[in-house]
Structure 1
Amino acid sequence: MVGLSVSPEISLVDEPVKIQAWGLPPNQVITLGAWLKDEKGHIFQSRAFYKTDMEGKVDLDKSPSTGGDFHGICPMGLFWALKPTTPFRRLIKRDVMGSPFLVHLELYSSLELNVPEDLPAATKVIKRWYSAPGVQRILIREGQVRGALFLPPGEGPFPGVVDMFGGIGGLLEFRSSLLASRGFASLALAFFAYDDLPSSLGEMDLKYFEEAAQFLCDHPKVSSDGVGVVATCKGAEMALAMASYLPQVAATVCINGTNAVNDNNLVYGDLLIKAIPYKMERILSTDFLSLSFTNVMNDPRKPEFKDSILPLEKARGPILFMVGEKDQQYNSLFFAREAKSRAEKYGKKDVYVQCYPGAGHLIEPPGSPLCPLSKTPNLLLPVTWGGELLAHCRAQETSWKELQEFLRTNIRCSRRNKL
């Protein structure tokens, strides 16, 4: 009897699973496939070919893929390689609390090069959740602050984290719900294109981000000693600004961001930091089919832009730059090295650069497939993100552990005095 097992069948999306097949002819090429349907009804799928051993078994922890969407030993390859059947879609979980992704795994006892007409020899449907049991989601509409607060089960206090993304806008919650599942009180913070916030990016007021950080510090289940900030792309730029000017920020993780204010002026009370302008005429990538900002951004080392560089040497706590070497959206490694060089010039020794070979722009929690390019709101052409499949997804596993360790090490979590 042909069998297919997946363990565990219910898990968080950042957890690995073990896949095995048995009951097959020895030394035979078989096909393993995976697919899921996102919340908008779009299909994402992957496929790989394996050769059974002398006992007619395949174990993805030991058996190499001989072809398909990836090659070699890669236990999570079927998840990493999920790609849209409709081009330029990005897999994003919106309802992080109410439902998991249902991943359908299928085993065919032969080499299936086309869409198979025969029924699979074995199937499994597994559930991949974005929040652990007991995690609480609270929609936030306090003062100016708009977002969603995720709290781990228990009384706390928990280390607090402000979590932001970039130019896509709106409210993305999947990283915050996973951080809460790992013991952090995480505020998924929107800063445009959501609720009554501005519909597009304009002048950035640091007071808004200060209010968000203070809201988190004041929460009774969050440590009041300072919060962390985790952010990607344009959000990482704001995270660095928060670290540079706000005493509430105890530790900062900038994922593929810059070291200066770009395109949108930054204000904070009487302070005005003029943005470095984009060279928008250089936005097209070399194939003229997608957009990249790599060549759009000016060099912050030019004398006329010196006042736009963020003074990270003023930051209270450590700063970690996480950089994809194959980022095709920003020249992130250059910006990170410039930031570290400035910090060292001013005597700040706790700025770190972690570069991941082969990783692209969208470094997300483990289990997220590589998205090399996708459509975004308000742009006609897809945006190029970059990255090599296996290297990028391995970087996501490594960086997720390093991110959590960095935050736990550098955010103090003392108990509040009871009144």
Structure 2
Amino acid sequence: MVEVTVTPRSSLSDRGVQVGVRGLSPSQLVTLRSWLRDERGECFQARAFFRATPKGDLDLGVTPALGGSYCGVCPMGLFWFLQPLKPFRRLLRRNVAGGPFLVHLEVFEGLLMAPEPREPPLASCQAERWYLGPGVTRVPVREGRVRGSLFLPPGPGPFPGVIDLFGGAGGLIEFRAGLLASRGFAVLALAFFAFEDLPPALTTLHMEYFEEAAELLLHHPKVRGPGLGVLGVSKGAEVALAMATFLPQVVATVWINGTAFLHGNPLVYRDLFIPPIPYFPERVLFTDLGAIDNSAVFGDPRDPKYGPSAIPVERIRGKVLFVVGEADRSLNSKLFAQLAMARMSPENCHLLSYPGAGHLIEPPGSPLCSISSIRGTPRPILWGGEAQAHAKAQEHSWQEIIRFLGSHLGGTKATPKL
């Protein structure tokens, strides 16, 4: 009898699992397929072709895939290389408190080439991939002007505090905050536009809003001060770097594929005004797939006339971890990281740069999204990245991010139980 197994069956989405098959014929050629449906009903799937051992089994930790969504030995290949059946969809858990993603694993005789199988599988099983560990709580935040969600690990605390920021799509994205809370951090997933009563579009970065959020987090009885961390990607990385510059409460900052200058929106903080580098939308390129390549839209920050738009990172006294995907097609993030680091004290910054990684570097349970549609754009956006290199970058950078935040915020008490 053929059996496919995943161990552990239930796990946090950023953790690895073991996939195996037994009961096959010696050297039998089979297809392993994984698939799930997100909250909107969109289907994502991956598949790989294998030849069973002489004993009639497979262990994806040692058995190489012959082809399909990937080649070679990759224990997490059926999770890392999930792709949408419909183009330009992004696999994103929106309701992290609503349960896990259910990943179906199936084994089929021979080579399954069709998008959907016509015959039943030889065997199947189901894996639960969670974004909240046991006991992690989510509390909506509606205090003063601040809008977001606070994720708290189980127990009395106090826990190191982190503010989590996403980018130009706006709204409130919580999956990374839930995973960080499962690792022992108190995390405020912070919206700053296009959410509830916040401005529908981003026009000006008002640093007082982020200062208010930092003070709100630090005054929570389960949050350990005196400093906190900030994690941001894309536009959120730009904001995170500004917070590290102007807010003494910020002592550890993770910057993922962002800028070191104000682009498109000015920054206002008390009597300070930093003008932006304008966008140049006439430089946009359309790819063969009809997506928007924005890489030329950002003005060259090395042009002397843009000097006043630089975030004055030389003022940063905390630590900054720069995370760069060298195949980022949204902006030249490596250049921005290097320009920022050149103006900072060397002991205050560190660079992780990954060849082949794209713009959306996320926790390792997230498959590469190289193109997707986002709010406010007429066409899908090109993010870049090569699937295998991007997956490895996510796995390595996530561990480094957790280590960095824990080290500079005094460590965590919790360990994930899934």
Output one character per residue of 1:255-307: Cα deviation in whole Å (capped at 9) or x when no partner. Answer: 00011111001000110000001111012245471112211111112111111
Structure 1 distance, partners of 2:27, 2:148, is 54
Residue number in structure 2 paired with 1:388: 386
**What is the CA-CA distance between 1:406 and the residue it aligns to?**
0.4
Residue number in structure 2 paired with 1:38: 38
Residue number in structure 2 paired with 1:360: 358
Q: Secondary structure at the match of 1:32?
A: strand
Kept after mapping to 2: 8 A contact 1:147/1:189: yes
* Paired residues for 1:167-316 under 5 Å: 167-287=168-288, 289-316=290-317
Q: Secondary structure at the match of 2:226?
A: coil
Residue number in structure 2 paired with 1:100: 100
Kept after mapping to 2: 8 A contact 1:100/1:128: yes
Structure 2 distance, partners of 1:141, 1:340, is 36
**What is the CA-CA distance between 1:413 and the residue it aligns to?**
6.5
Structure 2 distance, partners of 1:287, 1:21, is 40
Residue number in structure 2 paired with 1:374: 372
Kept after mapping to 2: 8 A contact 1:253/1:320: yes
TM-score by length of 1: 0.96
Structure 1 distance, partners of 2:397, 2:387, is 15
Residue number in structure 2 paired with 1:151: 152
Instruction: Answer yes or no: is 1:21 the counterpart of 2:18.
Output: no
**What is the CA-CA distance between 1:79 and the residue it aligns to?**
0.7
Residue number in structure 1 paired with 2:84: 84
Structure 1 distance, partners of 2:21, 2:204, is 56
Kept after mapping to 1: 8 A contact 2:184/2:412: no
**What is the CA-CA distance between 1:316 and the residue it aligns to?**
2.3
Output one character per residue of 1:318-360: Cα deviation in whole Å (capped at 9) or x when no partner. Answer: 11110001101010001101111111xxx45311111011110
Instruction: Answer yes or no: is 1:323 the counterpart of 2:321.
Output: no
Kept after mapping to 1: 8 A contact 2:161/2:218: yes
Residue number in structure 1 paired with 2:75: 75
Structure 2 distance, partners of 1:414, 1:191, is 27
**What is the CA-CA distance between 1:414 and the residue it aligns to?**
11
Residue number in structure 2 paired with 1:62: 62
**What is the CA-CA distance between 1:130 and the residue it aligns to?**
0.3
Paired amino acid for 2:248? P
Paired amino acid for 1:364? E
Structure 2 distance, partners of 1:413, 1:61, is 32
Kept after mapping to 2: 8 A contact 1:225/1:414: no
Residue number in structure 2 paired with 1:126: 127
Kept after mapping to 2: 8 A contact 1:225/1:412: no
Aligned residues: 412
Structure 1 distance, partners of 2:277, 2:349, is 23
Kept after mapping to 2: 8 A contact 1:223/1:414: no
**What is the CA-CA distance between 1:183 and the residue it aligns to?**
0.2
**What is the CA-CA distance between 1:32 and the residue it aligns to?**
0.2
Paired amino acid for 2:184? G
Structure 2 distance, partners of 1:220, 1:15, is 30
Q: Secondary structure at the match of 1:224?
A: strand
Aligned-residue sequence identity (percent) comes to: 52
Q: Mean alpha-carbon deviation: is it higher for 113-122 or for 400-409?
A: 113-122
Residue number in structure 1 paired with 2:340: 339
Q: Which 5+ residue runs of structure 2 have no aligned equivalent?
A: 414-418
Q: Secondary structure at the match of 2:151?
A: strand
Structure 1 distance, partners of 2:285, 2:219, is 45
Let me know the Cα RMSD of the aligned residues: 1.3
**What is the CA-CA distance between 1:125 and the residue it aligns to?**
1.1
Paired amino acid for 2:126? V
**What is the CA-CA distance between 1:213 and the residue it aligns to?**
0.8
Structure 2 distance, partners of 1:116, 1:414, is 46
Structure 1 distance, partners of 2:325, 2:357, is 4
TM-score by length of 2: 0.97
Structure 2 distance, partners of 1:405, 1:413, is 9
Kept after mapping to 2: 8 A contact 1:164/1:189: yes
**What is the CA-CA distance between 1:97 and the residue it aligns to?**
1.2
Structure 1 distance, partners of 2:226, 2:64, is 48
Kept after mapping to 2: 8 A contact 1:226/1:412: no
Paired amino acid for 2:357? A
**What is the CA-CA distance between 1:52 and the residue it aligns to?**
0.6
Q: Secondary structure at the match of 1:138?
A: strand
Structure 2 distance, partners of 1:249, 1:315, is 9
